[in-house]
Amino acid sequence: MKRLCKTVEQYLVSDWESLPESLQAHVQACPRCRAAWQLARAYRKTVQMVRDEPVPVSTTAWAQVRAKLSARATARARPVWWRFAPAFALGLVAFVAFSLTLVGRVPHKPAEVAHAGEPGHLLEYRLEVPPRDSQGSGPRRTAPLTAAEPMPPSPAEGLSTRPAESLEVALRALNHRGSNGNTRRRTKSVPTTVQLAQLPETELVVEVPALSDFEIPHQSEVSYLPIQYGTPSGQPYSEGNGYAIVGSF
């Protein structure tokens, strides 16, 4: 029986339209083969009906295809950047417009910028003193000193005593380091004004590191004074204070 089922299946697979008489009896008897045979027959019928259905005729003319073909060929012939040209042009126009707006709105760079330290900024003072024995002929020795004290407010904030105080701090620090056995220190006590005045101008240098910039909002309120060593300008100078004001503005 199973052998006949297999034979029927082979006939179905092989697309035979009718079965031999020997198999027809089996198909009538075997429900599985009968169902398969009925399905195959219905399938053939359906396929035949669909095959007979008239297929519409294509109406696309060659002229249309040819026009599309040439359009594509033209598009392909253009360089790649051509596709991005409109976007690029738009971007360029936007950039130029933006630049012109900026040029019209922003004033020129402020002509005068003053430097001032911020409060709390640590300054490093470098006091250069020639060795006593070499009388200025030997190499200059440098004693870097750090004044770990906050810097006073900037002159713009109303305090103009910074140079004098700074020097005071520097000298105090110098003395302090001397007491700690610093070999570079040459003065054991605070120098007097006379002593400082005797030193060549180039040998006593107070270096101030680069300070932050700030803009002066009203240019007309700023007055610039020449820096003169030993000439007080920010604070009235008094002879008896024991300190020399090195420079200020």
Residues at the interface with other proteins (CB under 8 A): 13, 38-40, 42-43, 45-47, 49-51, 53, 55-60, 62, 64-66, 68-69, 72
Q: Closest distance between other proteins and the C-beta of residue 29, in Å?
A: 16
Closest CA to 222 of 110, 136, 146: 110
Nearer to other proteins, 68 or 141 (CB): 68
Instruction: Report in angstroms the alpha-carbon separations of 183 from 120, 190, 208.
Output: 29, 17, 23
Contacts 24+ apart (CB under 8 A), 52-58: none
| DSSP secondary structure letters along 101-142 | HHHHHSPPPPS-EEE-PPTT--EEEEEEE--TTTTT-S--EE
Q: Closest distance between other proteins and the C-beta of residue 19, in Å?
A: 17
Closest CA to 143 of 184, 106, 86: 184
Q: Closest distance between other proteins and the C-beta of residue 75, in Å?
A: 11
Q: Closest distance between other proteins and the C-beta of residue 44, in Å?
A: 9
Over the range 47-86, which residues count as b (16 or more CB within 10 Å of their CB) and which as e? eeeeeeeeeeeeeeeeeeeeeeeeeeeeeeeeeeeeeeee
Nearer to other proteins, 69 or 97 (CB): 69
Nearer to other proteins, 42 or 92 (CB): 42
Q: Closest distance between other proteins and the C-beta of residue 64, in Å?
A: 7
Nearer to other proteins, 64 or 212 (CB): 64
Nearer to other proteins, 39 or 92 (CB): 39
Q: Closest distance between other proteins and the C-beta of residue 50, in Å?
A: 5
Paired strand residues for 220: none
Nearer to other proteins, 43 or 82 (CB): 43
Q: Closest distance between other proteins and the C-beta of residue 101, in Å?
A: 44
Q: Are 151 and 166 in contact (CB under 8 A)?
A: yes
Nearer to other proteins, 60 or 220 (CB): 60
